Structure 1
Amino acid sequence: MSDLPLIVFDVNETLLDLRTMEPTFKRIFGDKVDMRLWFADLVMYSLALTAARAYVPFTEIGAAVLKMLADAEGIRIERADGEELKEKFATMPPYPEVPGALRKLRDAGFRLFTLTNNLAEVQTCQLERGGISEFFERSFSVDSVKVYKPSPQTYAHVENELGARPSQLCMIACHAWDTLGAVAAGWEAAFIRRSGNDILGVGPQPQIIGNNLADVAEQLIARHAGR
């Protein structure tokens, strides 16, 4: 096995642009609820369900949170609204720098993988329709262990499947809870400062911080160039 770390990417918002869902939320909710509140609640309730030992697929939590927020505002969610958001979520485009940065990492000898809260079939659709599936050797879903990131079991599952030690893996994400979980599991981690996300100043910290994936890729290559 190469001395280069195996790179594991988060998908939603790290690689794919979540902001493309904003117009649909604006149409449904006006100024009452924005997309970021929905996504923050989606993550929060995935963690709450994990803590309660009650696994529910990510897409189902997303739909339930959408209805909860609408009910709280007295807004009726039509079936077509839910279907539109589901389609938007499955077809988010990658950020502009992502394809080039993935190619640069692969050309430098890094092996690339993904680990997401999405169901496997949703992740496959996202990567294929985003035109970046070719860069990844394999994709992992928390559905295999029925607990959400940053639970230790999610990272251990990837280690077991790849036959790798924690020190041989590097997580790239734009969410502090994900890099926190990876570093706590013994992985290296790189954090991308996407819009609306930044470093949490407590707990395990990522070794690399960049403003986009191109920045992170350059730092990773420089960090491991001598190997």
Structure 2
Amino acid sequence: MALDPERAEAIAFDSYGTIVDVTTVEEPLAEYVDEPELVSQLWRNRSLGYAMVANAIEEYDSFYQMNRTALQYALNVAGVDVSEDEREEILSTYDELAVFEDAVPGMERLQDMGYDLYVVSNGSHEMLDGLVEHAGIGDLIEGTISADEVETFKPVSELYRHAADEIGVPIEEITFVAAGWWDVPGAIHAGMQGVWINRQDTIWGPYETEPASTIETFHDLADELEEGG
């Protein structure tokens, strides 16, 4: 599968792990645990796991609450006892996650090329408002679409299809960019053109479908669209 610029009427980005770096939480975790990288990974994986189980049993709570519970789980596994205030302080790092250095300039290039840009995320509206402000991308995107709006998390097709309705573009004309090995297959399954930004230098899953492109930075996507346009 190859990236088709003619199918890129609008570009949608995932948020956490794609625009902002979730490993930023390792710094506050380091004050409490000996292996902050491992605890950070456990925290992230558990929060994603909670979301996928919630989809399966048709229950919904905000991703922020999922994240709070997942943090408690990760700290318990690490054998660390922290106060509620300390947990909330660690959790608040999500309001100020480091922005990947290519994200803003890459999005600026894509906007200058005439693409309408959106964020489609499992994050709550409150989380996304904070992310947009902190990352300084309010002038670059047309809007954000949250799982809150359909009370279903990615990678279930419903959220991607809802995003297409909100964007007002046929779903097959939306290019979706994400770092999640689980997120891009979901977008492709729903009908979007999926681009995987391999932020973690990991491997693609055991899926028959493949991303239209695998990139390292947002600039790579802009380059491919320029070359194919």
TM value normalised by structure 1 = 0.92
8 A Cα contact 1:105 1:221, kept in partner:
no
CA-to-aligned-CA distance 1:70-128 (integer Å, 9 cap, x gap): 23343212123222223210111311111110010011111100011111111011111
* 1:17 equivalent in structure 2: 21
Uncovered stretches (5+) of structure 2, i.e. residues with no partner? 1-5
Aligned partner of residue 177 in structure 2, secondary structure: strand
C-alpha distance in structure 1 between counterparts of 2:165 and 2:100, whole Å: 30
Residue 75 (1) aligns with residue 77 (2): no
* 1:191 equivalent in structure 2: 196
C-alpha distance in structure 1 between counterparts of 2:199 and 2:105, whole Å: 17
* 2:12 equivalent in structure 1: 8
Aligned partner of residue 219 in structure 2, secondary structure: helix
Aligned partner of residue 105 in structure 1, secondary structure: helix
Q: What's the offset of the Cα at 1:214?
A: 1.5
C-alpha distance in structure 2 between counterparts of 1:173 and 1:73, whole Å: 29
1:149 is aligned with what amino acid? K
Uncovered stretches (5+) of structure 1, i.e. residues with no partner? none
* 2:158 equivalent in structure 1: 153
8 A Cα contact 1:180 1:203, kept in partner:
no
8 A Cα contact 1:50 1:148, kept in partner:
yes
C-alpha distance in structure 2 between counterparts of 1:188 and 1:141, whole Å: 19
Q: What's the offset of the Cα at 1:20?
A: 1.5
C-alpha distance in structure 1 between counterparts of 2:76 and 2:22, whole Å: 23
2:182 aligned to 172, 177, 182, which one? Answer: 177
Q: Describe the shift of the 1:3–1:153 C-alpha distance in structure 2 as closer, same or farther (beyond 3 A).
A: closer
8 A Cα contact 1:117 1:149, kept in partner:
yes
CA-to-aligned-CA distance 1:167-188 (integer Å, 9 cap, x gap): 1111100112111011111110
1:208 aligned to 213, 220, 227, which one? Answer: 213
* RMSD (CA atoms): 1.8
Residue 127 (1) aligns with residue 138 (2): no
Aligned partner of residue 89 in structure 1, secondary structure: helix
Residue 40 (1) aligns with residue 42 (2): no
C-alpha distance in structure 1 between counterparts of 2:72 and 2:169, whole Å: 41
C-alpha distance in structure 2 between counterparts of 1:198 and 1:111, whole Å: 29
Taking CA–CA contacts closer than 8 Å with sequence separation of 6 or more, which of the two structures ends up with the larger relative contact order? 2
TM value normalised by structure 2 = 0.91
C-alpha distance in structure 1 between counterparts of 2:52 and 2:186, whole Å: 12
* 1:113 equivalent in structure 2: 118
* 1:163 equivalent in structure 2: 168
Residue 104 (1) aligns with residue 109 (2): yes
Aligned length: 223
8 A Cα contact 2:39 2:74, kept in partner:
no
